């Protein structure tokens, strides 16, 4: 490898050699992640006879049924992100204020669920949402409803279950920003006559927006491409794009259509992640 091919931080003449430690990880990501994605993208433009074709994209965007599923997927991802944000923001705030054993317990409650497989958590929610599940049992016991409420195989159940699974990925970025927030800033706003709501909207919220944006981008990217959670909670009644992709590859054997839909989801995730990165950079740059 020539010297010119290396990034500036890796070249000689005062460069930081520690940057070379990132090279194995970059090679690993290129081989395991980037190369397969490039091959998948290339397959979306390859016809059955080996020639160039955009038939997969035409079939996907030209079918109203596919567009309805795409809209449902985006709607579920947005609602999941919003619900996770509403739950995560006060949780991250309380977590940053907690100390000692209380903080350790709260952190464990956030991190330990990550060790449980997505299949287990989604299957647990499918049990809770059943007509004879625990949620309906509580509602019936309290007299809130007279008969079991249909929860399973509904979009709200999918949003609730997905938000629960992805909640730690929203809490932790916001918590990291709260940890860097100077407690003297809200106190200074108080001495200047700012009330609780004004302190929150003018001081706390703007300073924690980078964590909110990062967590929202992370949760949305995962929610828009989830497969196991909707398969167990809503099944075939409310399909998502990921479920269509699986059907195209496993049942229809239409690799070009499946690759085209995969490329669409990939582009959506890239746009969200890159856009959020640019927004965070502008917010942090405006304050520096």
pLDDT by residue for the chain (288 residues), tens digit each? 444 444 554 454 555 677 778 888 888 888 888 888 888 888 889 887 778 888 889 999 999 999 999 999 999 999 999 999 999 999 999 998 888 888 888 888 888 888 888 888 888 888 888 888 888 888 888 888 888 888 888 889 999 999 999 999 999 999 999 988 887 788 787 887 778 888 888 888 888 999 999 999 999 999 999 998 998 888 877 889 999 998 888 888 888 889 999 999 888 888 888 888 888 888 776 665
SS3 227: coil
Q: What pLDDT does residue 4 have?
A: 45
Which helix (H) or strand (E) segment holds residue 229: the answer is helix 228-233
Question: Could you give all domains of the chain from N- to C-terminal order, each with its CATH number?
Answer: 23-53 (no CATH), 66-287 (1.10.3720.10)
Contact yes or no for 238/229 (Cβ under 8 A): no
Residues 211 and 176: their CA atoms lie apart, in Å, by: 7
């Amino acid at each position: 490898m020539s010297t010119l091919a290396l990034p500036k931080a890796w070249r000689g003449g005062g460069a930081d050699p520690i940057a070379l430690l990132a090279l194995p990880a970059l090679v690993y990501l290129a081989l395991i992640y980037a190369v397969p994605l490039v091959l998948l993208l290339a397959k979306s433009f390859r016809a059955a006879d080996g020639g160039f074709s955009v038939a997969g994209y035409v079939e996907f965007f030209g079918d109203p049924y596919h567009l309805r599923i795409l809209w449902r997927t985006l709607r579920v991802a947005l609602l999941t992100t919003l619900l996770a944000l509403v739950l995560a923001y006060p949780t991250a705030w309380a977590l940053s204020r907690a100390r000692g054993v209380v903080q350790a317990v709260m952190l464990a409650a956030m991190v330990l669920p990550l060790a449980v497989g997505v299949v287990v958590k989604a299957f647990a929610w499918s049990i809770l949402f059943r007509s004879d599940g625990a949620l309906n049992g509580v509602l019936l016991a309290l007299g809130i409803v007279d008969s079991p409420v249909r929860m399973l195989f509904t979009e709200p159940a999918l949003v609730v279950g997905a938000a629960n699974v992805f909640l730690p990925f929203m809490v932790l970025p916001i918590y990291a920003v709260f940890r860097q927030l100077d407690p003297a800033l809200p106190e200074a706003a108080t001495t200047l006559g700012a009330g609780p709501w004004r302190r929150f909207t003018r001081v706390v919220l703007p300073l924690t927006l980078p964590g909110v944006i990062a967590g929202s981008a992370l949760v949305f990217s995962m929610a828009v491409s989830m497969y196991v959670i909707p398969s167990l909670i809503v099944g075939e009644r409310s399909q998502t794009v990921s479920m269509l992709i699986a059907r195209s590859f496993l049942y229809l054997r239409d690799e070009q259509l499946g690759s085209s839909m995969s490329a669409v989801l990939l582009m959506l995730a890239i746009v969200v992640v890159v856009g959020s990165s640019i927004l965070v950079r502008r917010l942090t740059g405006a304050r520096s």
